[in-house]
């Protein structure tokens, strides 16, 4: 739990062999979609009180309309309602703090799930309590979009380590495709 907010911050991503989260068109391809990982991801989001993502990311699950969310964008100065979704708040981190954004979204305790894209993950590098790094080692996305700024010069694992997170647990999500999720925890 972060000292400043009283919120638990979790990150979630699935990456290809190269550490990419999307293909060369910046879209998430079927090659990164596995039922075991999608069930893990849906369960993580069902436990969360608030979802945070960039304007081009979304989770597209049956429970999506029920979830409170912050949509990160430079199209607003600070905080603004999302005209297309009463459960969403548009948030520009340059103009409003994360704490104020959470309050505007009606969330002052519980779990916040950060679901990307890369720059949004980076906003929280020093705040994650937990990061769920799913890896699909046989999925190849040449020229794709790296999951974090700094990939491929460094691996996603090196970047999480550099920000004080440690691998704590690894679970197989799809044995046929060697897809696993490693839970990284602070300290």
Ligand X SMILES: NC(=O)c1ccc[n+]([C@@H]2O[C@H](COP(=O)([O-])OP(=O)(O)OC[C@H]3O[C@@H](n4cnc5c(N)ncnc54)[C@H](OP(=O)(O)O)[C@@H]3O)[C@@H](O)[C@H]2O)c1
Residues at the interface with ligand X (CB under 6 A)? 13-14, 21-22, 26-28, 32, 53-57, 72-75, 92-93, 115-120, 123, 145
Can you tell me the distance from the alpha carbon of 92 to that of 110, in angstroms, rounded to the nearest whole number? 22
* Residue closer to ligand X (CB basis): 91 or 165: 91
* Residue closer to ligand X (CB basis): 32 or 102: 32
Q: How far is the CB of 179 from ligand X (least distance, A)?
A: 12
Q: How far is the CB of 25 from ligand X (least distance, A)?
A: 8
Q: How far is the CB of 4 from ligand X (least distance, A)?
A: 18
Q: Tell me the residue nearest to ligand X as measured from the CB.
A: 54
Can you tell me the distance from the alpha carbon of 187 to that of 184, in angstroms, rounded to the nearest whole number? 9
Please list, in sequence order, all residues whose beta carbon lies within 8 angstroms of the beta carbon of residue 67, skipping any fewer than 6 positions away. 45, 48, 50, 51, 87
Can you tell me the distance from the alpha carbon of 37 to that of 115, in angstroms, rounded to the nearest whole number? 14
Q: How far is the CB of 34 from ligand X (least distance, A)?
A: 11
* Residue closer to ligand X (CB basis): 109 or 117: 117
Q: How far is the CB of 59 from ligand X (least distance, A)?
A: 9
Residues 112, 68 contacting (CB under 8 angstroms):
no
* Residue closer to ligand X (CB basis): 6 or 126: 126
* Residue closer to ligand X (CB basis): 1 or 172: 172
- SS3 string, 66-85, reads HCCEEEECCCCCCEEECCCC
Burial class, 101, CB count within 10 angstroms (exposed 0-12 / middle 13-18 / buried 19+): buried
Residues 99, 78 contacting (CB under 8 angstroms):
no
Phi, psi of 78 (to 5 degrees): -150, -80
Q: How far is the CB of 186 from ligand X (least distance, A)?
A: 21
Can you tell me the distance from the alpha carbon of 99 to that of 91, in angstroms, rounded to the nearest whole number? 11
* Residue closer to ligand X (CB basis): 1 or 149: 149
């Amino acid at each position: 739990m972060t000292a400043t907010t009283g919120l638990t911050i979790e990150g979630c991503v699935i990456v290809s062999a190269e550490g990419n989260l999307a293909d060369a068109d910046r879209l998430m391809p079927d090659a990164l979609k596995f039922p075991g990982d999608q069930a893990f991801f849906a369960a993580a989001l069902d436990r969360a009180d608030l979802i945070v993502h960039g304007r081009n990311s979304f989770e597209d699950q049956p429970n999506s309309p029920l979830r409170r969310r912050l949509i990160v964008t430079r199209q607003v100065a600070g905080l603004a309602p999302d005209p297309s979704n009463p459960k969403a708040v548009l948030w520009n981190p340059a103009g409003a703090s994360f704490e104020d954004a959470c309050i505007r979204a009606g969330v002052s305790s519980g779990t916040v799930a950060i679901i990307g894209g890369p720059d949004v993950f980076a906003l929280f590098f020093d705040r994650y309590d937990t990061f769920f790094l799913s890896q699909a080692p046989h999925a190849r996305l040449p020229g794709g979009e790296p999951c974090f700024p700094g990939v491929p010069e460094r691996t996603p694992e090196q970047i999480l380590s550099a920000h004080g997170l440690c691998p704590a647990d690894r679970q197989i999500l799809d044995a046929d495709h060697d897809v696993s999720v490693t839970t990284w925890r602070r300290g």
